[in-house]
Homo-oligomer: A and B are copies of this chain.
Amino acid sequence: MKKHNFNAGPSILPQSTIENTAKAILDFNGSGLSLMEISHRAKDFQPVVDEAVALFKELLNIPEGYSVLFLGGGASLEFCMVPFNFLEKKAAYLNTGVWAKKAMKEAKAFGEVVEVASSADANYTFVPKDYTIPADADYFHITTNNTIYGTEIRTDIDSPVPLIADASSDIFSRPMDVSKYVMIYGGAQKNLAPAGLTFVIIKNDALGKVSRYIPTMLNYQTHIDNGSMFNTPPVVPIYAALQTLRWIKEQGGVKEMERRAIEKADLLYNEIDRNKLFVGTANKEDRSLMNICFVMKDEYKDLEADFMKFATERGMVGIKGHRSVGGFRASCYNALPKESVEALVACMQEFEKQH
**Residues of A near any B CB (own CB < 8 A):** 1-3, 5, 7-13, 17-19, 21-23, 25-26, 31-40, 71-77, 79-80, 102, 105-106, 109, 187, 189, 193-197, 213, 215-218, 230-237, 240, 317-318
Q: How far is the CA of A105 from the CA of B219 in the complex (A)?
A: 14
Is A7's CB under 8 angstroms from B37's CB?
yes
User: Within 8 Å CB of A10, what residues of B?
Assistant: 36-40, 232, 235
Number of copies: 2
Residue of B nearest to A218 (CB): B80
Q: How far is the CA of A224 from the CA of B9 in the complex (A)?
A: 22
Given contacts A195-B234, A217-B79, contact A37 B18 (CB under 8 A): yes
Residue of B nearest to A106 (CB): B215
Is A233's CB under 8 angstroms from B195's CB?
yes
Given contacts A19-B26, A76-B216, contact A232 B189 (CB under 8 A): yes
Given contacts A3-B32, A7-B39, contact A194 B73 (CB under 8 A): no
Q: How far is the CA of A290 from the CA of B237 in the complex (A)?
A: 27
User: Within 8 Å CB of A39, what residues of B?
Assistant: 7-11, 318
Given contacts A18-B26, A36-B193, A194-B234, 11 further A-B contacts (CB under 8 A): A7-B39, A11-B39, A18-B25, A18-B34, A71-B73, A74-B217, A80-B215, A80-B216, A106-B216, A187-B232, A234-B234
Residue of B nearest to A222 (CB): B76
User: Within 8 Å CB of A80, what residues of B?
Assistant: 215-218
Q: How far is the CA of A21 from the CA of B24 in the complex (A)?
A: 11
Q: Contact check: which of B3, B76, B105, B194 meets A231 at CB < 8 Å? A: B76
User: Within 8 Å CB of A40, what residues of B?
Assistant: 10, 195
Given contacts A39-B9, A196-B197, contact A213 B73 (CB under 8 A): no
- Give the one of A34, A37, A232, A318 with max B CB within 10 A: A37
Given contacts A31-B3, A36-B18, contact A236 B235 (CB under 8 A): no
Residue of B nearest to A109 (CB): B213
Is A72's CB under 8 angstroms from B234's CB?
yes
User: Within 8 Å CB of A8, what residues of B?
Assistant: 39
Q: Contact check: which of B13, B19, B36, B233 meets A13 at CB < 8 Å? A: B36
Q: How far is the CA of A92 from the CA of B235 in the complex (A)?
A: 33
Q: Contact check: which of B22, B76, B187 meets A217 at CB < 8 Å? A: B76
Given contacts A5-B33, A13-B34, A236-B236, contact A230 B76 (CB under 8 A): yes
Residue of B nearest to A216 (CB): B106
Q: How far is the CA of A40 from the CA of B189 in the complex (A)?
A: 11
Min CB gap A316→B, angstroms: 12
User: Within 8 Å CB of A21, what residues of B?
Assistant: 25, 36
Is A217's CB under 8 angstroms from B25's CB?
no
User: Within 8 Å CB of A33, what residues of B?
Assistant: 3, 5, 317
Is A12's CB under 8 angstroms from B37's CB?
yes
Is A194's CB under 8 angstroms from B77's CB?
no
Residue of B nearest to A110 (CB): B215
Residue of B nearest to A102 (CB): B216
